[in-house]
Amino acid sequence: MSVKSLFTGIFTVILLLVLSNSIYVINEYERGVLLRFGKVYQADLESGLHFKVPVMDKVRIFDGRVLTLDAAPERFFTFEKKVVIVDSFAKFRIDEVQKFYTATSGDEAVARRLLSQRINNGLRDEITARVLHEVVSGERDELMQILTKQVDAGAREELGIKVIDVRVKRIDLPPEVSQSVYDRMNAERNKEASQYRAEGEELAAGIRADADKQVEVLSAQAYAKAEELKGEGDADAAEIYASAYNRDKEFYKFYRSMSAYKNTFSNKGDILLIDPDSDFFTYLNKSKR
């Protein structure tokens, strides 16, 4: 191999190394900053292919997507001095790359720690100003909105971070008091349930008494109506019988006697002791003549 070929090869290798250290790519989901001798030379680099000066320039690339900060549970005191354990999380993204790099030296862990401190301080201020019921349910959504706005304002100003949302995953009482609180709540619910049952039984007794009264009234009215109809029927029957009797008295006597014979002699086991010459056998005696 000639000296010329050797120098050509070395030059090519050096050229490739220089080119490889001069070219960098920023993806569409990334944010970047160009440093020259350790100071910010160009901030918020656009996505695409870029060139830099080897040795002099250095590029720091950060994730530009929405990130999640899952903070560790912290203890806070409510307005009534009750202890609650709050487990929260936040959604954020890098908004101003230069300010983010200046505040955190481009270390995402530092940014998370500073942001977590801000969230905890905000939670402490908001929870201290509210009672337990407001923290747990009454004003929980309002608390999160206020906290998000406050933390976002401070994080943008000092860290170059946009806080999109802050949410509470759960709020618990300390283990040493949670059982006593549960027992008290259980006793209150049992008392309330007993009161509802007593009111229900009282209402049911009133409904049953009213129903029984209505049954008696309806039965009395039905009995009175039945007796009235029965009386009217008996009167009509008596009138019909009287009319028929007056029309042919002899036939009526005969019909009554035949009915009496039928009813009397229907059972062959009965014994009847009566004078043969009595009026009961009038028509039988006439039939012999």
Residue 237 lies in a domain: no
Residue 168 lies in a domain: yes
Tell whether pTM > 0.85.
no
Look at residues 148, 172, 196 and tell me which one is the last residue of a structural domain: 172
Look at residues 34, 63, 92 and tell me which one is the last residue of a structural domain: 63
Residue 215 lies in a domain: no
**For residue 92, what is the domain's CATH number?**
3.30.479.30
Backbone CA torsion sign across 20, 107, 103, 100: positive
Residue 76 lies in a domain: yes
Q: How many domains does the chain have?
A: 3
Residue 239 lies in a domain: no
Residue 43 lies in a domain: yes
* Full residue range of the structural domain in which residue 280 is found: 248-288
- The tens-digit pLDDT sequence of the chain (289 residues) is 566 666 666 656 665 565 566 777 888 888 888 888 888 888 888 888 877 877 788 888 888 899 999 988 888 888 888 888 888 899 999 989 989 988 998 888 999 999 999 999 998 988 888 887 777 776 777 888 888 999 999 999 999 999 999 988 888 877 766 666 667 778 888 888 989 999 999 999 989 999 999 999 999 899 989 988 998 888 888 788 777 767 766 677 777 777 776 776 666 666 666 666 666 666 665 555 5
Please enumerate in sequence order all residues whose Cβ is within 8 A of that of 33, keeping only pairs 6 or more positions apart, or say none: 40, 42, 43, 44, 45, 59, 60, 62, 97, 98, 101, 106
Look at residues 155, 172, 189 and tell me which one is the last residue of a structural domain: 172
User: Which letter does DSSP use for residue 273 in this model?
Assistant: -
Q: Are 165 and 89 in contact (CB under 8 A)?
A: no
Q: What is the pLDDT of residue 153?
A: 92
Residue 222 lies in a domain: no
DSSP for 14-65, please give it.
HHHHHHHHHEEEE-TTEEEEEEETTEEEE-SPPSEEEE--TTTEEEEEEE-S
Q: What is the pLDDT of residue 113?
A: 92
